[in-house]
Structure 1
Amino acid sequence: MSKTHLKPLSFQRHGHKFWKRFTSFDHTRHVTECSVVAAEVFPVAAAFPLVFRKTESGVELVAVFSLTEEAENSFVSETGIWLAPYLPSAMRCPPFDAEPMPRGGQVKDAQFQLLIDESLGLISDDPRDEAFYRETGALSSNLEAVKRFFQSRMSSAQTTKAICDVLADMNLLAPLTQHEGCSLPKGCWGISPDGLNSLTNRQLATLATCGALQLVHAHQVSLSHIAWLAQAQSRMTQNPSSVDLSRKTNADGFLSALADAQTNETSWGPNSELHAYAQ
Structure 2
Amino acid sequence: MTRTHLKPLSFQRHGHMFWKRFTSFEHTRHVTECSVVEAEVFPVAASFPLVFRKTEGRVEPVAVFSLTEEAENPFVSETGGWLAPYLPSAMRCPPFDAEPMPRGGQVKDAQFQLLVDESLGLISDDPRDEAFYRETGALSSNLEAVMTFFQGRMSSAQTTKAICDVLVEMNLLDRLTQYESCILPRSCWGISTDRLNSLTNKQLATLTACGALRLVHAHQISLSHVAWLTQAQSRMTHNPGSKDAERKANAEGFLSALAEAQTSETSWGQNSEIHACAR
Q: Same fold (TM over 0.5)?
A: yes
> 1:73 Cα deviation (Å)?
0.6
Q: Using the alignment, how far apart are the partners of 2:38 and 2:220 within structure 1?
A: 15
Map of 1:128 onto structure 2? 128
Could you tell me which amino acid in structure 2 is paired with residue 138 of structure 1? A
Say whether the 8 Å CA contact 1:51–1:61 is kept in structure 2. Answer: yes
CA separation of 1:27 and 1:106: change in aligned 2, threshold 3 A: closer
Q: Using the alignment, how far apart are the partners of 1:211 and 1:107 within structure 2?
A: 15
Say whether the 8 Å CA contact 1:20–1:123 is kept in structure 2. Answer: yes
Map of 1:25 onto structure 2? 25
Map of 2:113 onto structure 1? 113
Map of 1:139 onto structure 2? 139
CA separation of 1:102 and 1:210: change in aligned 2, threshold 3 A: closer
Partner-residue secondary structure (3-state), 1:203: helix
- Say whether residues 1:265 and 2:270 are aligned partners: yes
Structure 1 gaps of 5+ residues are: none
Q: Using the alignment, how far apart are the partners of 1:53 and 1:244 within structure 2?
A: 31
Residue by residue over 1:227-263, the C-alpha shift from the partner in whole angstroms, topping out at 9 and shown as x without a partner, is: 1111211221123626367766766765676788757
> 1:57 Cα deviation (Å)?
4.5
Does 241-250 or 209-218 show the bigger shift? 241-250
Say whether the 8 Å CA contact 1:145–1:273 is kept in structure 2. Answer: no
Could you tell me which amino acid in structure 2 is paired with residue 191 of structure 1? I
Say whether the 8 Å CA contact 1:8–1:115 is kept in structure 2. Answer: yes
Partner-residue secondary structure (3-state), 2:98: strand
Say whether the 8 Å CA contact 1:89–1:268 is kept in structure 2. Answer: no
Equivalence map 1:1-279=2 (5 Å): 2-104=2-104, 108-239=108-239, 241=243, 243=246, 265-267=270-272, 272=275, 274=277, 277-278=278-279
Could you tell me which amino acid in structure 2 is paired with residue 88 of structure 1? P
Q: Using the alignment, how far apart are the partners of 2:249 and 2:47 within structure 1?
A: 24
Give the TM-score, by structure 1 length: 0.91
CA separation of 1:263 and 1:80: change in aligned 2, threshold 3 A: farther
Q: Using the alignment, how far apart are the partners of 2:268 and 2:207 within structure 1?
A: 28
Partner-residue secondary structure (3-state), 1:126: coil
Partner-residue secondary structure (3-state), 2:243: helix
Say whether the 8 Å CA contact 1:101–1:113 is kept in structure 2. Answer: yes
Q: Using the alignment, how far apart are the partners of 2:19 and 2:263 within structure 1?
A: 25
Residue by residue over 1:179-200, the C-alpha shift from the partner in whole angstroms, topping out at 9 and shown as x without a partner, is: 1111111111000011101101
Could you tell me which amino acid in structure 1 is paired with residue 63 of structure 2? A
Could you tell me which amino acid in structure 2 is paired with residue 18 of structure 1? F
> 1:8 Cα deviation (Å)?
0.8
Does 260-269 or 201-210 show the bigger shift? 260-269
Aligned-CA RMSD value:
2.3
Q: Using the alignment, how far apart are the partners of 2:247 and 2:187 within structure 1?
A: 35
Say whether the 8 Å CA contact 1:76–1:82 is kept in structure 2. Answer: yes
CA separation of 1:12 and 1:186: change in aligned 2, threshold 3 A: same
Does 20-29 or 246-255 show the bigger shift? 246-255
Give the TM-score, by structure 2 length: 0.91
Could you tell me which amino acid in structure 2 is paired with residue 164 of structure 1? C
Identity among equivalent positions (%) equals 76
